[in-house]
Amino acid sequence: MWYDFEAAFESKKSEAEEMLHDEDKLLEFISKVLEKLDTIPVVGSLLGDIPLLCMIVVDYVKGEYTEIPLASVIGIIAALIYFFSPVDLIPDCIPGIGLLDDAAVIGIAIKAVDNDLQAYREWKGM
């Protein structure tokens, strides 16, 4: 069965835009994303970038880092929403494969904002 991961990613953008307008809700969501990540026994390279994605969103929302296009921030939040959502193509509870779709969507987001992430790493001295 073919699944359009880009469409799944795009479908979360309106939710991401709404969340961006409520700083408290967004920061609470980021905290929950990081908590979920902590429950995953082995984190691959794509999911390993989730903390960086969370950091850039938090710094943007707090006004500490604004050298990123709004569209990139929305894309990052959309990918994090997909990752956090219990309802997706492959349920996360399936050992070995449950996070494959999440990794694919995170990978799409990372590819889309790669230049922004590189600039952020430089700004952070990473």
Domains in the chain: how many in total?
1
Can you give the residue range of the structural domain that contains 112? 5-124
Does position 107 have pLDDT exceeding 80, yes or no? yes
pLDDT in tens, 40-81: 876 666 688 999 999 999 999 999 999 999 999 999 999 999
Global pTM value: 0.86
- Give the three-state DSSP class for 96: coil
Q: Specify whether the CB–CB gap between 80 and 54 falls below 8 A.
A: yes
Site of tokens 């996360």: 92
